[in-house]
Structure 1
Amino acid sequence: MTLSIETPALLFSATSLILLAYTNRFLTIAQIIRSLKKSYDEEESKLILLEIKNLNLRLTLIRYMQLFGVMCLFLSVFAMLLLFLGHQLTGIYLFGLSLLCLLISLGLSFWEISISVKALRLHLSDLNDKY
């Protein structure tokens, strides 16, 4: 079995865009948490505390999404280096490992999005009777 050096390079643009999207999600949630923390300091509401807890879980998931995304990119580059140096079998295994990291990252992303959708539906549940 052989793998060309160009194959791992295909992940570069996709992984870079995914990491950018993860970073944007992280920054948005961090801003919301800061705002909710300020609101909680003014009015100790249990609802605000639950929202912060939910967002904290999402931040943790995003951190792991980013970790596995970076590992995907790192392993792809390392696989390319090994392929360049003629270590075909090791390069193939590392590329497979990079694909596994990408799958884990995307799975965590789906989990984080699911949590976000549930939270939004709960937040909007009082409007269901009005429309």
Structure 2
Amino acid sequence: MIDYDKFKQSLTLLESQYHHLQTLDDTLPDWLQEAVSESVIHRFETCYDCMRKVLKRYLKNSLGLPDVPNSPKPLFRMANENRLLPSDVDQWLIYADSRIGTSHDYDGEKAKAALELMGAFIKDAVALYETMSGEAWL
């Protein structure tokens, strides 16, 4: 049996904080807007990492696939071959690049690019959660 709780919790927190960012008052100080943006990025990183671990377990345990890779891009390709991904595999490879980029972002450009992906990522992560867990999203 696969435990989806951490993935579900991290996705719920990401979804909530992203909503806060979208509805944030533009008149608030820059430092506050930046703090909320950074929180969304951090929650994206956590959610992405939880999702990837659960996806790997799902491919191994539920589908019984041998030699499931650790690396995200081959993992997403394998998930795509097994019709698990709700969007094109190229989009998932962009998510993987974004996750790597947020860890090594020194000028803020990669964080901005990641934030632009957040709505699509959340939608895809929810759909993947529903597919793997068999549960409807909140």
What TM-score, normalized to structure 2?
0.43
Instruction: Write 1 or 2 for the structure with the bigger share of helix.
Output: 1
What TM-score, normalized to structure 1?
0.45
